Amino acid sequence: MITDKLRHNYVSITMSSNGTTQTDLSIATEPGNKIILRMYAYQNAGTEPLTLEFRFSYHPETPHSLLHEDNEGRTERIVDFYKKLWVGKSYKTPVLSGGRQSYKANGGELTITQDMVDKFMATIGGGMRHADKEGFVPMDFAIVVGWKAIMKALLLVQADLLKLVHLSNKFRMHCDAAPLRVGEKTESFARTTSISISDSGKTVEVCATISRNHVPVMDVISEFFYKGTYTDFAECFTNKKENLREVSFSSPSLANLLLSKEWVTWTEHVEVDELAEKTLTFELETFSSLKSKGVFSRLRTSGRVFATAKGSKGMQEIATVHYDSISAAPPHPTSNPVLGYLERHGKVVSKRVLLERPICLDTVEDGFVFAAPASNAEYSRVSQDFNPIHVSPAFAKYAGLPGPITHGMHTSAIIRSITEMRCAENNLSSMRNFSASFVGMIRGGDSIEVHLDHVAMLAGNKIIKIEARNAASQEKVFVGECEIEPIETAYIFTGQGSQELGMGMDLYETSSAARQVWDRADKHFDGTYGKHFSIFAPFPRLQSDVHQGFAFQILCARTPSHSLFTLAVNAAQLSARTICA
């Protein structure tokens, strides 16, 4: 509903569907054919409404372009508006003497109260979840702790904030750190870790570290995108932890090639033949900054090299890597010689073990379905993300959206909560990492279906793939992944003496998972012994089919254990599916 009030040279407009009479935007005229458009944000870090002003001039002499926007001071007004929106009127933009790369934005201290957590849980669970018995708070609450620091870092980027999109977010727990608890005093610092420019816009990554008692607990890594055309390539830089890479040598000459590289320093003298017998693992980080498009002003790669000898299980540090283009030639390289070498002679090492068959964790075909909240106002207040495109029809329309859209982090919190309940038995300390990419738009009331698949293992932890779609259109709106530390489980397998005729046939008939295990065992025995496994299992046809002589009788004496083991594997797999579901 759009209503307006006209008086003299001023029009106020309300754009709402909830009966409110607050002014969403106003239009006023000034002498000299000047037109002032103001949009109002009622939810912000302060206590009074904020206005964002746009200035136009009317030109009747150009009928095909009657309105011209006055761009003088436009960027400054927008930045000032969002600064007050997210961090308050008293905040002063810092002077970056050491550059944006080294600046750490201070989000201040926050003591977590039960009231804060209750309000946050109400926005993401609607009564679905209750307070944790040990006082742990959900992983998503870290965005409340770290949001102000993230915004302070983001406000330093030269870009149009009206065209800002939140691309992705990742929560990453530090090693052995326990979740945050009610009553704890927390601190947050954020720094910009990457700025890059593409043909369609500018991408910025910000990492906030959440600490308690000055000890890091977790990182919140958010990626943002500014739509538009940008040419300030000299502002671009990246801090990146490289993938682990492994190098093996097929000949001494290839080992000698690495020994000739100036960017490697060996901890002690190593002979070519000795090095050729080893497998090397490179653990590196890279910093890069641009001078212009495609030309680096600086490239720096450093890290450690570990060696594993044939027949040895452990790794030993054998060298360090340090390359800095400032002390190398040419002074402004277009490529990284360290990474170039590793791409030609190494391979990426993945610690993940992909499951041969991903396990679907949905209990029904449509997955878990939830409705996006009709209003985003409460989540805005609780999370401190006051971006008006989520609550103001005027700002949403100005940004080219059909209306207010659901916060990406709100969607992430709901989906992560669902995943935690279904795959971690509501254990708030089990989830170690959670990443979310916001690939589609969600509006209030949309029905969203969530699908979960167990796809891999990583150092004993489960990797769960997450996808969410709009139930009506089937458009993919969310893609994510999480790492869950499973509860310790022991499986005890029976010995002989407990078998009976027909054992396991009820599982075979009723469970497709059990049927797959029996059929795999059948295939193995058929290929190995020329007989189907099922004739040895405690099935009725056992008595009539086994008559192949003494050697086969020995085989038969061993197979009841194999049958019982297969039956136990069936039970274990079904139990694991039940736990994950």
Which is it for the CA torsion 131, 148, 380, 437, positive or negative? negative
Q: Are 279 and 246 within 8 A, CB to CB? A: yes
Structure tokens at 460: 């004993």
Predicted local distance difference test score (pLDDT) of residue 331: 72
pLDDT, tens digit, 9 for 90 and up, residues 144-161: 999 999 999 999 998 999
474 in the Ramachandran plot: left (φ > 0), alpha (ψ -120 to 50) or beta? left
Q: At what angle do helices 74-87 and 142-154 cross, to 10 degrees?
A: 160
**Alpha-carbon 534 to chain mean position:** 46
pLDDT at 133: 83
Residue 291 CB neighbours (<10 A) = 14
Query: 376-391 pLDDT, tens per residue?
Result: 999 999 999 999 999 9
36-92 pLDDT, tens per residue? 999 999 999 988 999 999 999 999 999 899 999 999 999 999 999 999 999 998 888
User: Is residue 469 within 8 Å of residue 476, measured between CB atoms?
Assistant: yes
pLDDT score of 540: 45
State the Rg of the chain over Cα: 31
Residue 95 DSSP code: P
- Give mean pLDDT, residues 425-432: 91
Rounded mean pLDDT, 170-195: 95
User: What's the mean per-residue pLDDT of the chain?
Assistant: 86
pLDDT tens digit string along 229-245?
999 999 999 999 999 99
pLDDT of amino acid 475: 96
Bridge pairing between strands 352-360 and 431-438: unpaired
Residue 580 has pLDDT above 50, yes or no: no
pLDDT at 108 over 80: yes
Residue 3 has pLDDT above 70, yes or no: no
Place 363 in a pLDDT band, splitting at 50, 70 and 90.
Answer: confident
CB 282 within 8 A of CB 303: yes
Q: Could you give the percent of the chain with pLDDT greater than 70?
A: 83
What local confidence, expressed as pLDDT, does residue 416 receive?
95
From residue 568, how far is each of 356, 359, 363, 494, 498 by CA, in Å? 20, 19, 23, 8, 12
pLDDT cut 90: percent of the chain above it: 60
Would the pLDDT of 579 be above 80? no
* Cα three-residue angle 256-261-263, rounded to 5 degrees: 145
Over 50: is that where the pLDDT of 1 sits? no
Angle at 479 between CA 478 and CA 481, to 5 degrees: 135
Residue 171 has pLDDT above 80, yes or no: yes
Which three-class secondary structure state does DSSP give residue 338? helix
Q: Which of 434, 428, 441 is nearest to 468 (CA)?
A: 441
pLDDT digits (tens, 9 = 90+) for 5-41: 556 677 878 876 556 678 889 899 888 899 999 999 9
| Position 535 confidence tier, pLDDT thresholds 50, 70, 90 | low
Over residues 458-470, the pLDDT tens digits come to 988 999 999 999 9
With bands split at pLDDT 50, 70 and 90, how would you rate the model's confidence at 497? low
- The DSSP secondary-structure symbol of 335 reads S
Say whether pLDDT at 533 is over 70.
Answer: no
Average pLDDT over residues 178-191: 96
Q: What is the pLDDT of residue 16?
A: 66
**In this predicted structure, what is the pLDDT of residue 337?**
94
Higher pLDDT, 305 or 562: 305
| 58 contact partners, CB below 8 Å, separation of at least 6 | 33, 34, 35, 66, 67
Mean pLDDT over residues 279-299, rounded? 94
Q: What is the pLDDT of residue 522?
A: 75
pLDDT at 22: 83
| Beta carbons within 8 Å of 509's beta carbon, 6+ residues apart | none
